Amino acid sequence: MAFEEYKGAMFSTTWKTSARKYGVVAARDVKIPMSDGIKLNCDTWRPDGKGKFPAVLSFHNYHSAGQTGPIKPAALSTAQWRHPGQERTNASLEAGDPIFFARRGYAHVVCNARGTGNSEGKWDFTGPQEVKDCYEVIEWMAKQSWCDGNVVMFGVSYFAWIQLFVAQLNPPHLKTIFCPWGSTDFYRDIAYRGGIFAWKWPFGWSQTSLTYGKVRPDCAALREMGEKGFKQAIAKMLEDEDIRSIPEMVAVLKNPLEGINPFIVDLALHSTYDKYWKDRTVDYNKIKIPAYIGADWDCFGIHLPAAFRSWEYLKVPKKMIIGPPVYLDRPLYQLQHEAIRWFDHWLKGINTGIMDEPPIRCFIMNTGEWKSSNDWPLPETKFTPFYLHESGLLNEHEHWSYEGSDSFEESPWMRGYVKYATPPLVENTEVLGPIMLKLYAATTDIDVHWIISLLEIDADGKERLLTKGWLKGSHRELDMKKSKPWEPIYTHAKSEPLTPGTIYEFDIKLVPTGNLFKAGSRIAVKISCVDDEPTNPLELIGTGSLKRTAVARVTVFHNEDYPSYLLLPITKGNIVNTYFSGGKWPGQ
């Protein structure tokens, strides 16, 4: 056995990856010329051996030196997210370890986007200019003396989503992408979940990441509208009572071109799914190269929806991983052995065994174990309606005659809600897949912001948030070409105010989850119009929804005529359904 062939490699008895066999040559502040004369700034690492090597690109808008500094990986603390001014968060350190790649025979380029760091120009938030720049960087890399002409991409979050966008352009030398924890539709995934403006996200991102990356944003709205139209749009937005209730937004709108403000203003002024957002939505039909995608269960407010959308629409060799509900440590080092397996297979023709394994792996919460599948939703899924009943009951039994409704107050003085829960489960019940709430409801207002939470209540009564769904009532129009019985998709093309007191049918999509509800626990759904207080940084990302300032009474109907229900994807257990008695004899 040649032991050197296995040094630093991941391997089994039948396959192996590239071994650690090279030293590393690094170069900082390398300038890459763009076709319009702008120069982008990058850092490079390459093997010290002779010959040419495949190259990895990580493309970003963050602090450059921090990406690859000698920092011990750590979790992101909740305190950092709550008080970002006190200390920089490590969330944006997502490029991976270039030393790891270079030692195994891959060059690694970490490049700042236009208008960020030491790159020239103005930043175009994942827009056409930024995607074009990324294409040109890939082709520049392929021509370097140390590159064999094969380029791949690696990274998570910002580093991931740019990969899917540039893959649409099919750069001749881009061979595959490794892009879990990405986003592919910024309107639906992040900025306007369910059509509700998630205003806190751009503020938090700006404070924790963009400022330290020296981001200098362009203002798309100003270019589109002209100076007069831009000022009129700002003035109109400042008349909106919901916006006026947020001092931070008012301050930005009064100084729309200052600092990072143009980025926030662009998001705010594009409140429906228009060209601005279409330019920032992946067209999967154009992607021709293999892709490795994924997320984790707690990223329901940012990255998780894109993973399942990518799985459905990518028509290329692909793999998907949905991990435990925790943030990957930063600076990013995890998944690099997996990436080498992926790259070795597609670039070096090495048998790494990666394509012999099931293409989907999902971590199942409450088990500490993974579940594999060949398709999504899983073929064994039983989509089961759990009806909303009086007295806060959630159960598979259909409604009885003369059941009614529940109401709550929604106002700046009282943010009410209703909650429905099953009796304690007798069977261990696995829920894995897409979730939908069919809700019949009315409000005395002209709009309503539905925020739906799926909860686990353990045997001791402790609640845990599993996932959420959002829908702005005036954005209830469905895209019937894309919607499925278990997944409503909204057009977000226009706002249609509600008629106060009228009962509407709302199909509300919840982000998929994967959880084992153990016997003795309960499944619950909470229906509210505002976000709950988050308990960790990933939950925090999924909050910040704009609140209504109007005073309203909201009514949820659950009866024979208006049978509201929660559609759950059951993949194990629940054979005889839940027991009204909780499975206990009287007196037990």
Q: Is 209 found in the same domain as 134? A: no
Note whether residue 268 is domain-resident. yes
pTM value is 0.95
Residue at a domain's end among 278, 307, 340? 278
Length of the chain: 588
Q: Are residues 249 and 119 in the same domain?
A: no
DSSP-derived letter for residue 187 is I
DSSP assignments along 252-286, one per residue: HHHSTTSTTHHHHHHHHH--SS-HHHHTTB--GGG
Burial class (CB in 10 A: 0-12, 13-18, 19+), 190: buried
Closest by Cα among 568, 531, 62, 549 to 301: 531
Give the CATH number, domain containing residue 411: 2.60.120.260
- Domain count within the chain: 3
Does the structure show a pLDDT above 70 at 358?
yes
| Banded model confidence at residue 476, pLDDT cuts 50, 70, 90 | very high
Give tens-digit pLDDT for 374-421.
999 999 999 999 999 999 999 999 999 989 999 999 999 999 999 999
**Distance of CA 440 to CAs 72, 401, 435, 490, 534, Å?**
51, 17, 17, 17, 27
> What pLDDT does residue 212 have?
74
Categorize the per-residue pLDDT at 65 as very low, low, confident or very high, splitting at 50, 70 and 90.
confident
DSSP 156: S
In a domain, 12, yes or no: yes
Q: Based on the domain organization, do 217 and 141 belong to the same domain?
A: no
365 in any annotated domain: no
127 touches 220 (CB < 8 A) = yes
What does the pLDDT average to over 304-311? Answer: 98
Task: Judge whether residue 477 has pLDDT over 90.
Answer: yes
Q: What is the pLDDT of residue 576?
A: 93
User: Quick check: 423 and 481 in contact, CB under 8 A?
Assistant: no
Q: Are residues 394 and 515 in the same domain?
A: yes
Decide if pLDDT at 572 tops 80: yes
pLDDT at residue 79, as a whole number: 56
Please check whether residues 15 and 137 belong to one and the same domain. yes
Strand partners, 53: 147
State the average pLDDT over residues 256-272.
Answer: 96
Q: Is 275 exposed, middle or buried (0-12, 13-18, 19+ CB in 10 A)?
A: exposed
pLDDT above 60: residue 248:
yes
Q: Percent of the chain beyond pLDDT 70?
A: 97
Terminal C-alpha separation, the chain = 65
Would you say residue 200 lies in a domain?
yes
Q: 210 falls in which pLDDT band (50, 70, 90)?
A: confident
As given in the structure block, the two tokens for residue 54 are 């495949």
How confident is the prediction for the chain on average, in pLDDT? Answer: 94
Cα radius of gyration rounded to whole Å, the chain? 25
210, 290: one domain: no
CATH of the domain at 97: 3.40.50.1820
DSSP string of 305-374, one letter each residue: HHHHHHHHH--SSEEEEEE-SSPPPBS--TTHHHHHHHHIIIII----SGGGS-SEEEEEBTTTEEEEES
- In this structure, the answer to whether residues 296 and 420 fall within a common structural domain is no
Residue-range definition of the domain harbouring residue 95: 3-184+282-357
Banded pLDDT at 78 (limits 50, 70, 90): low
Residue 162 lies in a domain: yes
Residue with tokens 């829908």: 471
Mean pLDDT value of segment 443-462? 98
pLDDT tens digits along 215-237: 999 999 999 999 999 999 999 99
Mean pLDDT over 433-456 rounds to 98
- Asked whether residue 582 is assigned to any structural domain, the reply reads no
Place of tokens 């030692």: 103
Report, as an integer, the average pLDDT of 348-365.
Answer: 96
The predicted model gives 63-71 an average pLDDT of: 85
Residue 536 pLDDT level (bands cut at 50, 70, 90) = confident
Q: Return the C-alpha torsion angle 344, 349, 352, 356, nearest 10.
A: 120
Give strand pairing partners of 438. 507, 565
> Is residue 103's pLDDT more than 80?
yes
Q: What is the mean pLDDT of residues 45-56?
A: 95
Write the CA distances from 463 to 174, 397, 432, 440, 572, integer angstroms. 46, 24, 19, 25, 22
Alpha helices by DSSP H, listed for 114-169, are 128-142, 158-167
Q: Are residues 179 and 267 in the same domain?
A: no
Residue at which a domain ends, from 250, 278, 306: 278
Residue partners of 99: CB distance under 8 A and separation at least 6: 24, 45, 68
Same domain for 301 and 431? no
Residue entry with tokens 């009228």: 502
Residues 415 and 344 in one domain: no
Q: Count of alpha carbons within 13 Å of 216, Cβ hemisphere only?
A: 11
Flag whether pLDDT at 87 surpasses 90. Answer: no
SS3 76: coil
Asked if the structure places residue 580 within a domain, the reply is no
> For the chain, how many helices (H) and strands (E)?
15, 24
Instruction: Give the integer Cα–Cα distance in Å for 575 and 12.
Output: 39
Q: What pLDDT score was predicted for residue 92?
A: 84
pLDDT confidence of residue 411: 96
Are residue 431 and residue 307 in the same domain, yes or no? no
Q: Is residue 588 part of a domain?
A: no
At residue 535, the pLDDT reads 86
pLDDT at 251: 97
Picking from 249, 278, 307, the residue at the C-terminal end of a domain is: 278
User: Residue 392: which region, alpha, beta or left (left: phi > 0; alpha: psi -120 to 50)?
Assistant: left
Q: Is the pLDDT of residue 163 over 90?
A: yes
Does residue 197 sit in the same domain as residue 304? no
The backbone torsions φ and ψ at residue 274, rounded to the nearest 5 degrees and listed phi first, read: -110, -165
